[in-house]
Structure 1
Amino acid sequence: MSVAALSRQVAAIPLRSEAGQPRILMVTTRKSRKWIVPKGWHIPGLAGFEAAAREAFEEAGVRGIVSQRPIGQYDYIKTREPRPDLTCRVDVYLLHVNEELPVWPEMTRRDREWVNLDEAVARAGHAGLGTLIAKNPDIFTAIVCG
């Protein structure tokens, strides 16, 4: 597959504290069922952090306080058979969850699960996402436990 272009996306890492430890809410992708965090394309008229918060609501059914600056970014290859693959650069924001909904827009298309940081790194379907989580444990702890 050829890589045609670099495209920008946004993601939210939903966080909460459980027994004094940070937990990340991961969701599965719709097709390959890989574990990721909620992410999607930039939305015209919304700032990156606002678009990331919307993705968290739509894909994972959570709301909360989102960081206005990304904590980092990662790249991955989006497979789009039969179209050319895309290299995507994802700006990642933190979302401190204060509401988890029992019903949400994509609940029939995705699974969601709260995991600890080590499990999030191990499950991450995009290597760059796992690396970003692994390199920033103090940020997650400070946000939710701090």
Structure 2
Amino acid sequence: MSFIRRLAMPKDFRKLDEDSIREQYAALCYRVVNDKVRVLLITSRGTKRWIVPKGWPMSRKAPHEAALTEAAEEAGVIGRVRKEPIGHYTYYKVLDDGQEVPCVGTLFPVRVRLLRAEYPEANERDRKWFSRKKAAKKVDEPDLAALIREFDPSKLK
């Protein structure tokens, strides 16, 4: 059984041909301030919904490295990424041509050291720090919201 089929997927994903489900690598960017975890969310370019940085696989980059690259490009993050993902979530991505494709996001924790003032997508996105609880309420994807709510950096291996 493949990686995608082993995931707990929503009903509408289960009936899809496995080859039609795409994978993206996502970054859960966080910092700890006064013992409180803060999560960085960015807005999507089109709808301005709150999301985490994410993108397609990159040749010659491991999945966690691709997630860190996306965090740098989309949010100006300088930080340290963990090699092990904290989980997966499902969603539909709207492509530039308007087509919706089913995706599985593999979420990697990124401890943020600095945020650049200038970065490639600075003029296209907003970014903001939230508590885990508020960040979970801001994102649309239930699986992602649960991962954010339950995230505890002190339990990372």
Q: Given the two structures, how large is their TM-score scaled by the length of structure 2?
A: 0.82
Q: Is the contact made by 1:11 and 1:40 (CA closer than 8 Å) also made in structure 2?
A: yes
Letter aligned with residue 45 of structure 1: R
Q: Which runs of 5+ in 2 are unaligned?
A: 1-15
CA distance in structure 1 between the partners assigned to 2:96 and 2:67 by the alignment = 25
Task: Tell me which stretches of 4 or more aligned residues in structure 1 moved more than 3 Å.
Answer: 80-84
Query: Quick one: which of 116, 120, 125 aligns to 1:101?
Result: 116
Aligned to 1:42: 57
Report the Cα offset of residue 18 of structure 1.
1.8
Q: Is the contact made by 1:96 and 1:143 (CA closer than 8 Å) also made in structure 2?
A: no
**Paired residue secondary structure (1:33):** coil
Q: Select the structure with the greater relative contact order (CA < 8 A; seq sep ≥ 6).
A: 1
Q: Please, what is the CA RMSD of the aligned residues? A: 1.9
1:143 to 1:25, Cα distance in 2 relative to 1, 3 A: farther
Report the Cα offset of residue 84 of structure 1.
3.5
Q: Given the two structures, how large is their TM-score scaled by the length of structure 1?
A: 0.88
Alignment of 1:1-146 (within 5 A): 5-80=20-95, 82-134=97-149, 136-137=150-151, 139-140=152-153, 142=154
How many equivalent residue pairs?
139
Aligned to 2:12: none
**Paired residue secondary structure (2:21):** strand
CA distance in structure 2 between the partners assigned to 1:25 and 1:128 by the alignment = 17
CA distance in structure 2 between the partners assigned to 1:82 and 1:89 by the alignment = 20
CA distance in structure 1 between the partners assigned to 2:40 and 2:155 by the alignment = 14
Q: Percent identity?
A: 33
Q: Is the contact made by 1:9 and 1:39 (CA closer than 8 Å) also made in structure 2?
A: yes
Flag the structure with higher strand content: 1
